[in-house]
Structure formats: C-alpha cells, structure tokens
A and B are shown apart, each in its own frame.
Chain A
Amino acid sequence: MVAKFSIRHLTFRYSDGVALRDVTLEIPANEITVVFGPSHAGKSTLLRSLNRLNDLIENEATEMSGLVLLDGKDIYRPGVDVTELRRRVGMVFALPIPLPLTIRENVVYGLRMRGERRQARLNELVERSLRQAALWDEVEDRLDEPAMRLSGGQQQRLCLARTLALEPDVILLDNPTSGLDPLSTAKVEASLQELKADYTIVLVPHSVQQAARVADLAAFLLGGDLVEVGPSEQIFTRPQEPRTEDYITGRFG
C-alpha cells in the first residue's frame, strides 16, 4: 500500500470546541477512503484540512496541530503554493455549487485561472472530464448554457467534472450525493469506482449504506475522535469497537 496522505496527530480546534482530536490516518493511493460518522464528528473538517480549505475560515479563531503529509511532504510547511495544492487535491462539496457561468466555463475555470489558454486543450479537457463524470451525453449540445439551468443531479456531476478537469491526484468529496435522487446517486457512485484507477478518493458518505457500498478503506469518526479504521469488509461486518458496531447497526446516529 502506498500512502497518498499521512495524517499524523491532527488536532483542529474551532473557537467553540475541538473538531478533531489527535487523528492519525494513512490514506492509500488509488483507493476510495470513506470517512463516516454522525454529524459533528469532524468529517468535513478532516476533509478540508487535506487541501487547506480550513485556511479560508476568517470570522473565527482556529487552531491546528499535527502533520498532514501529501506524498511524504508537509502541506502546511511555509512556502507551500496553496493554489497548486488545491489543484492537486480537488474538492466536491455537499451541495452542487456551480459558478454563475456557463457549463463549459465551469469546467475550465480552474485551468483558466492557472493560465491555460490553448483552446484545443481546454476543449479536450471539457469533453474528457464531463465523460468521466457521466454527464457528457446530457450536456454535449448545450455547453454554453448557464450551469444553473441543469438539474441538481447534473449540477453535482458538473462539479465533479470541474474538479476532474484540474487533473488532480486526489479528489475530496464532502457528502456529494446529499441532494441527489437515487438514480443520480448511483451514477456518481459508479463513476467513482471507475475513477479510483487514476485518482485517490476521499469521501464523506451520505449514509452508512453508501459508506459500505463504495469504501475500500473506512474510517469511523465520532465527536472528533478516530474510533476505528480498516478495510471496508472488516469495518462493516466485524467491527472491533463496540461504538462502531452500535453506529453501523443503527443503534445511534
């Protein structure tokens, strides 16, 4: 197993309490790692610490300690190019948030901001990323319409395509199917299974069922503590910790 991310003793504190407490976790390359648990477990905070999106919190004092290594290098060391980090570690959010631009402009946004001007390259990436996100067939003849006209499920796949167009190493997905119907959810899950050949995927799932469906490696968070981590088939059939078992069998959460 090659660790893409090594999280070591990560503690993250908001002004009103601890969100992550001494979390140590290895995230393997080319697998789907699922971080699951009840609300306020620290799942989103963990995800956002992987591409330093927590840096954008402005109205509140936050405090972080511990290490996050990407390919063995500390992403919080001084002199790290954060925009380049965010390109390598792309993020898809819980709610689809298209930028108020056209479908095509949404997909190429990150590339254009990096200075890519070659039209042929942009067009190629538009098609490839939309295909990877299983959206191409539905939008190929209306790429210049506003992205807001797409349905919720289509918007979420557009957001996935937009992240894929950055050609990242890692894709973070924070509850990407929360607003989607079962059919769209199935489409997104299917594309994830195909994508893991080329990408490392970290997903906060919508439900325990989704966690069990898509995970290769599963990590259970509870109140900021990493309770248990292991291969999917072990966590969801023979959990070692009683708290994990209680949660996945629906006794709380």
Chain B
Amino acid sequence: MSRQASEKIAFAILTILAVVVVVPIVLVVVYIVVQGIGAVNWEFLTAFPRNGMKEGGILPAIIGTVVLTFGTAIVSIPIAVGAAIYLAEYARDTWLTRSIRLAIINLAGIPSVVYGLFGLGLFVLFMGLGTSIVAGSLTLGLMTLPVVISTAEEALLAVPQRIRVVSRSLGATRWQTVRQVVLPNALPGILTGVILGLERAAGETAPILFTVAAFYLPQLPRSPLDQTMALPYHLYVISTQVPGMPLEVQYGTALVLLVMVLSMNLVATIIRSRFRRRRQW
C-alpha cells in the first residue's frame, strides 16, 4: 500500500472514531428534548408537585439542586484551590506530597455511592448534622475535590516557570508571586475545573441519597439544616417509586437537569476560549 493510501485510510478511521464520540451525545440530547419538551412550561418550572407528583411542577427540586451546587462550591473551592496552590507552587517531591497525590487519585476513583455512605456516617450521624443541606454539601464537596484539585493544579503549572523566576528575581516572595502573577493567569483554568466539578455534583444522586435528599417536601428549605428535594433524586423517585407516572414528566425533569448542567458547561467553555484569546505568552 502506498504512503498516500495508508494516510487516507488512517484519516478516515480517525474521523469515524471522532464522529462516533459525538453521536451518542447528540442522540441523548435530542431524545430527551423530544420526549420532554411537552412537559416543560411555566407551571412546571415554578410550581410544587401535586397529586402524588404526577402533576404540577418541580420547583423545589430545581431550587434544591441550585442550593446544593452553591453549598458544594463553598465547601470545595477553598480546600481544592488551596491544595492545588500548595501542590503546584510549594510542594517539593517528598513522601508527604506523594501520598497527597496518591490520595487525590484514589479519591477520584471512589464510587459516588460510597461517598454517600461516608457522608451518612460522618456528617449525618457522627457529627450530628442530620440529613441536611450542610451534610449533603459537605459530601458533594468532598466528592468534587479531586477533579477541582487536578484541573486547578494543571492551570497553575501552565503558567510558565520563567515568569515565576522573574518575579522572584525582582525581590517578590513566593506568596507574592503566586498572588500577583500566577493566580490571576491561572484563574480561568481554575474556574473551568470548578465548574466541571460542580456540574458533576449537580447531577449526582447517590451522594445525596442518604445525606440530604427528600422524597417530597411541601415547602422550600428554610435553613441549611433542613432537608431539600433535588433534581437527580427527584428524577430517580418519579421514575422508579411512583406508579403511573406520566413518561413526559419524567423526561421533562431530565431535560431541566440536562439544561442546567449543559449551561454550566457552556459557561466553562466560554471562559476558556476568552482566556485563550487573551493569553499573553
């Protein structure tokens, strides 16, 4: 076979593989939109469920997911960004940093249901927080740590070393260098990681199952120690626990969750592309 022919075949195969990646995503989105769009209207987004959740809206679940996402952010951002700065800027290669990295890799591999049980044991029972928004946020925050730490560390390491050397040569301390030059330039990358992590948290069912999620509540949560409904768990409930649930409502709920997650994704993409255009080295 000639070099040109094998080049063409390789190119064709790679193109097909790339398209194969896209197809399921498109199919899932299109299918859910087609099946669920009929259920989504103003009442669906702004009302409480009625008649055994077969009618009405999903407002408390939407609010719950938004609240839990913010809670997760409050828990995970300071810890993860702090840890990433430590690993990228301060840590030398010692047994301590090696075990920290090992821990992060292992945290990323733990199934989400295990996080849920861990949260139940530590936050709900041992710390006595009960099934509450605080307990759920702590559990979700813990789960998102590895993703946020790794992306934030990468974003920090992407800032060229020579810029740090220059800053230090001008008499800046290590922390001043991080604060003034490295962090501002890594921020968009860090934000991307944060959003990707939160997105995962927003869509998870298992970690909130035992720690915060309520089957049905007649009112919105009033304090961080209240339980709340949440979209992924609500979807699970109406798909498996409620007999005679109209299919359209199930897909409508899935559609709302999907749109929320995808729009977070969109924000991350926009930040990233802005950053690339503005990048100065």
Contact = CB atoms under 8 A, between A and B. Distances in A.
A166 interface: yes
Contacts of B168: 53, 56, 86
A97 interface: yes
B167 interface: yes
Interface stretch (A18-26, A108-116, A126-134, A188-196): A108-116
B188 to A, nearest CB: 13
Given A99-B181, A100-B185, A100-B281, A90 B169 contact: yes
A117 to B, nearest CB: 14
Nearest to B159: A100
Contacts of B280: 100, 146, 148
Interface stretch (B39-47, B172-180, B241-249): B172-180
A84 B171 contact: yes
Nearest to B165: A56
A90 B166 CA distance: 10
B276 interface: no
Nearest to B169: A91
Nearest to B170: A110
Contacts of B270: none
Nearest to A59: B93
Nearest to A91: B169
A113 B181 contact: no
A145 to B, nearest CB: 12
Contacts of A97: 162-163, 166
Contacts of A83: 171-173
Given A58-B92, A99-B181, A100-B281, A114 B171 contact: yes
A126 to B, nearest CB: 14
Interface string A68-99: 00000000000000011011001101010101
B26 to A, nearest CB: 38
Contact of A162 (B165, B170, B281): B170
Contacts of B169: 51, 53, 86, 90-91, 93
Contacts of A162: 170
A159 to B, nearest CB: 8
Residue with the greatest number of chain B CB neighbours at <10 A, chosen from A84, A97, A162: A97
A99 B92 contact: no
A109 B165 contact: no
B248 to A, nearest CB: 52
Contacts of A185: none
A232 interface: no
Contacts of A110: 170-172
10 contacts: A86-B169, A91-B169, A93-B169, A97-B162, A97-B163, A99-B167, A100-B184, A110-B172, A114-B171, A146-B280
Interface of B: 92, 162-173, 176, 180-181, 184-185, 280-281
Across the A-B interface, give the 4 residue pairs with the lowest CB-CB distance, nearest first: A110-B170, A87-B171, A113-B172, A148-B280
Given A87-B170, A99-B167, 12 more contacts: A53-B169, A56-B164, A56-B165, A56-B168, A93-B165, A97-B166, A99-B163, A109-B170, A110-B170, A110-B171, A113-B176, A166-B171
